[in-house]
Chain A
């Protein structure tokens, strides 16, 4: 204070003492350095605040120049003088800046320099008020620097578009990132509505404003979406809009941060794509693997039960933890068929579920519903509550819990457009819950299984039909192969084994009325013999209430679909018999009557033993067909036997008759010859002689006819045995011709024989004789007084005989016919005989391996040409 006052050179009169008070106040002010300067800037007074702020005592500083307080830089720049000059000219100047304390430390000063003027206006000095604002300054500086840094940061950020929007949504600031991302410079975009960053469809929906509204309401709005660049290209943006409010909560605008996530989105999408592809590939691989395994399982044609059991096994490896197969039974209801569990230890639990809690007892059981409706059932997640509802008892619930079904699918299995069963797949893992795609797969699997079953059924029925057709064809062949009755029945029985049965027994009624085995077949011949021995020891019980004898009596089919031990015990005749029957392992059987023309002749029994096959209606029908064939065999055999007997009797009769007819003729001939001889000797009546000669001719004719009949009967009976020997055909022809000389002479036919001196060959003499006798006989008979020429020549390996007449000839239509039995070209009235001659001739020629042909025309005569192999190859 003292210094302030003492330094004041001029003191105004202060009558009231106010000035004094003011002085005292100023002097004591601790926060303001208030001092006076002379017009040159020298310090004239000093107060407590100045002392505290600047560190100088009044004594140290008064008289010193203002520039003492300035930094070297400010001093060098003439800053103190500038301020004084400004204050002098303007009256007052305010300044802020660093000043230096006595101890050389700096402080931030807020300075007000006021010029003090004389009444004439000249500057008398200056009053300076300085405040130490270092703390404030530091805060402000920090803030400023922070803001600066932030600004730089914002401006420097390239990866983010960070900009402000005014409350109307117009762009208020723009950073480098925004420029880079969006393509606009600050000049181009500031003041523009931010809507231009949005695609047209978003704009149309008013999305930009809606986003701002969200930000206003929620404080901020965040999204990812498509935005447009200046060049019109799109980018995937992550957007954060924050509403900016002042202290009073008034909306000042929005801060918008936008990031281009296109790349990331692409990467992410690619990743997702890759993951999905991998998942898909894995799924495809799994599915392919499963389907391959399934195909393998379904490849062999099996029945429905086996097929679905296999499917269940495959499914438990791939798609399910356990699997239940239900199949439609014969009565149309659903029966649990098979179960499979991937964990073998749990298999018994599934089996128990199947055994103790069959679906058929619970009408609304999902399996039954699927079976009824054909609509697949998917329960994505099975809850504990569901188990409780489904369980029919505490034990059932316990069992269900132990099995722990978490998700299930039930799909119907269709074959030939009918639901034949269901496939239930169960997952016991919470991390593997079935979804629609699993369901599609399961349905695919069911479809494949159904197809396999349908195919197998088709295959089976086709196989059976084929095998039946083959069997019946073989049976038919058997019937035509032999006419021996016993042999035929045995062959028929053989056809059946083992295709249709392990044993086939055909029992036929014997002449004594009893039924006895006529044929027994088994694949093993040793067993057949054994069976015959057995039948001898234990003959068919003729009065048994069932079995072959019963069937042969009633004519009714018996089917033993399952032969039980009880039945064997009942059928056995003693302990040994029972032992044998048991050993046979008989499973099932069919016994059908063998009946023909309404008469039951016997019974055909099919028995299944080691093959374990079972019989159905189809097999019964087949057995009936076979029995019908057995009956046909029996009937054929009977007919054949009868006809054979009839033929035998006829042949025997013809043989005996011709022999018996011939003998008296021989005797008659001898007598007539004798009479003729006597008549000739005794020169009897010429007419008498002629009559006797005529009688002789008739006897010879009759003899020839009888001979023909004999030859015929031998030929048809197949009793001709060839004896090939060396024969001179030339000599034979001469001999035959010689025999007909008399007759030729009588018929006025000239018989001309032209042969080489000899022609040797191997033939049967009787047959040759027969052939040429017939031909020459005919030629002489039909020669009509024209010459008959017989020529013989060798042609290669054959002997060729031509017998030619010039008689009545044969019409072309008759030329083939004449070689048949009982045929002749001329009327029987004019030319007697049986019409057997040429048939016998042809048979004879053919038996010697030769040929006979005829050339003729009516009225032109006939030429018969016979070619015989010289080596006499008889017909096989």
Chain B
């Protein structure tokens, strides 16, 4: 799960195998990104925070081998992604979609439009869950602006072209299904 393969970027403080790992700096640099990734999967801020903490616990446990990690960012994202997926298997996401959609709508829309917007978000979240797994994963990771196609490909263990194709298919499928829902309504 926490594979260390892959990547081109290397952090300056990771160059020396024997140098002390500045955990505070890593937490500062990556905690928000990891939180967003976990939140996109789990749709719960509390659980996303737990996942981020678990990720850094892994870092602490593997601090002796951190020097072998070639791209800290991808490595951390992959751990967070897998931990979040593990957690998601233990719960039913639709339980949290209600409150998540509500909070998401209220943060972006005026109060009078919140109910309608929350309803649309719930539908969109339900349709995202119904997407094929590979498409769903690419769509959720692509939502995180900081992650490029190459990084998504590295996290999911796919080629960049496959990621682009999956993302395109996911958007088309999701749009079609939501349009169908809107037409029925």
The answer to whether A binds B is no
B contact set with A: CB distance below 8 Å: none
